[in-house]
């Protein structure tokens, strides 16, 4: 095995590892969207799932890119996602705050399965 093939194999392995980390971040953010109690904490999870995770995946793709031009385009895409994602998250949070949606304060206790919720069907 020559040095060129070995370097390519190492880069592909590193790329796969970075992409796997990004997919774990996306899955964690999706789980947070399902489990967190209010809009503001869900928005934080959505920011991780929609910004950080995909940026890490795109960086992994840039590592595995066969051409320097493609890698640069992928890095520019990652920079655009880094710039736009938090801005959109901030706009959603600002709109919710302006509409009067208050975050949950104090200790939150999730409803137990089978219990009736106030105002819901019993």
| 51 pLDDT higher than 70 | yes
Record the tokens describing residue 83, joined without a space. Answer: 């710039």
What pLDDT score does 49 carry? 85
Output the pLDDT for position 95.
Answer: 94
Closest CA to 62 of 5, 22, 3, 2: 22
Tens of pLDDT, residues 71-103: 999 999 999 999 999 999 999 999 999 999 888
Query: Which residue would you say has higher pLDDT here, 49 or 19?
Result: 19
- pLDDT band with cut points at 50, 70 and 90 for residue 122: very low
Cα 122-100-49 angle, rounded to 5 deg: 80
| Residue range 13-32, pLDDT digits in tens | 999 999 999 999 999 988 98
Residue spans of the domains in the chain: they are 3-98
């Amino acid at each position: 095995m020559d040095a060129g093939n070995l370097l390519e194999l190492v880069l592909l392995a590193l790329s796969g590892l970075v992409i796997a980390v990004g997919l774990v971040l996306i899955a964690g953010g999706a789980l947070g969207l399902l489990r967190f109690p209010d809009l503001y904490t869900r928005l934080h999870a959505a920011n991780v799932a929609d910004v950080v995770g995909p940026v890490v995946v795109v960086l992994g793709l840039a590592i595995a890119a066969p051409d320097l031009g493609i890698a640069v385009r992928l890095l520019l895409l990652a920079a655009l996602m880094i710039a736009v994602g938090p801005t959109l998250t901030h706009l959603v949070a600002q709109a919710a705050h302006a509409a009067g949606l208050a975050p949950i304060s104090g200790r939150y206790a999730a409803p137990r399965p089978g219990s009736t919720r106030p105002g819901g069907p019993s």
